[in-house]
């Protein structure tokens, strides 16, 4: 099975043209022109591609080629529909392909994600005057944002928990996020650590991050919003800096190999209590 990172890069650059499936399970009745959705279990990514089936090829191992819908696949590559959401509606997907015609509610969730979710995100993020993750990460000029080593995995994590993710524009040296789900608002800033302990970079980033939170609290004037500052570091800070961030109530994370994200212990506790597992 191809890696998510390779599929994503190929889809975003327009080089992904087609994929081939074995004709078995729910695909035994597939016909030319049927819509096929590509699901990737790796990293809990979920739906990453879609296209139209070509004429199946008969034989001992019959196959069908699927011609990629590049516009919609580009959307899904930059903003996949999380596997956790798909499993909620199609729990038997782990056993192989499924026919969405027999699951109209599941299909409506998928169709809404592709065709309507960006409008819903715009509405949710309207108080903050930011660009939606889909618009920013899916544009050719911002191609690197969808491939960003620090923010792309965090965006997937937040999207899996049904957050609308916004990108502060214009994008400076490193992107900044404002993500919202109902009353929860996450204010995220990237911090690349160049020194051995990261003290200088973290100290500077914390001031900017807390100022941003303060300004948002004043500008929105909505007492129902619960703002959570998040510092996304390029590597794990030392123990003293972690304690410093945790004592300030700032979530702190760093990327792991393979497109994963790790958080400090107190950040994990806050995540599970307030932001995650929905």
Per residue in 56-92, pLDDT (tens digit) is: 998 888 999 999 999 999 999 999 999 888 888 887 7
Q: pTM here?
A: 0.89
What is the percent of the chain where pLDDT is above 70?
A: 95
Angstrom distance (rounded) from CA 89 to CA 104? 10
pLDDT beyond 90 at 257: no
Q: What is the pLDDT of residue 40?
A: 87
pLDDT beyond 70 at 141: no
Closest CA to 90 of 136, 143, 181, 25: 25
Q: Hey, what domains does the chain have and what are their CATH numbers?
A: 4-115 (no CATH), 117-275 (3.40.1350)
Q: Quick one: pLDDT band at residue 28, thresholds 50, 70, 90?
A: confident
User: Are 154 and 232 within 8 A, CB to CB?
Assistant: yes
pLDDT in tens, 97-108: 888 888 888 889
Q: What is the pLDDT of residue 60?
A: 80
């Amino acid at each position: 099975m191809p890696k998510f990172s390779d599929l994503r890069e190929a889809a975003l650059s327009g080089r992904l043209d087609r994929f081939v499936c074995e004709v078995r399970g729910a695909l035994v009745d597939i016909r030319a022109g049927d819509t096929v959705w590509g699901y990737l279990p790796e990293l809990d990514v979920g739906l990453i591609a879609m296209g139209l089936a070509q004429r199946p090829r008969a034989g001992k191992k019959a196959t069908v080629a699927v011609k990629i819908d590049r516009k919609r696949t580009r959307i899904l590559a930059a903003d996949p529909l999380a596997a956790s959401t798909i499993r909620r509606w199609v729990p038997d997907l782990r056993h192989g392909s499924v026919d969405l015609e027999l699951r109209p509610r599941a299909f409506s969730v998928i169709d809404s994600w592709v065709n309507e979710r960006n409008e819903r995100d715009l509405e949710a993020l309207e108080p903050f005057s930011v660009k939606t993750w889909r618009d920013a990460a899916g544009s050719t000029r911002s191609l690197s944002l969808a491939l960003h080593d620090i923010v792309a995995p965090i965006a997937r994590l937040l999207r899996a928990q049904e957050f609308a993710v916004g990108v502060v524009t214009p994008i400076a040296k490193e992107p900044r996020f404002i993500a919202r789900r109902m009353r929860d608002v996450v204010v995220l800033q990237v911090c690349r650590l160049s020194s051995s302990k990261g003290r200088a970079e973290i100290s500077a980033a914390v001031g900017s991050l807390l100022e941003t939170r303060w300004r948002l609290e004043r500008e929105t004037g909505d007492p129902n919003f619960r703002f959570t500052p998040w510092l996304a570091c390029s590597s794990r800070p030392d123990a003293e800096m972690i304690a410093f961030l945790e004592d300030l109530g700032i979530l702190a994370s760093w990327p792991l190999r393979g497109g994963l994200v790790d958080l400090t212990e107190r950040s994990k506790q806050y995540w599970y209590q307030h932001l995650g597992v929905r």
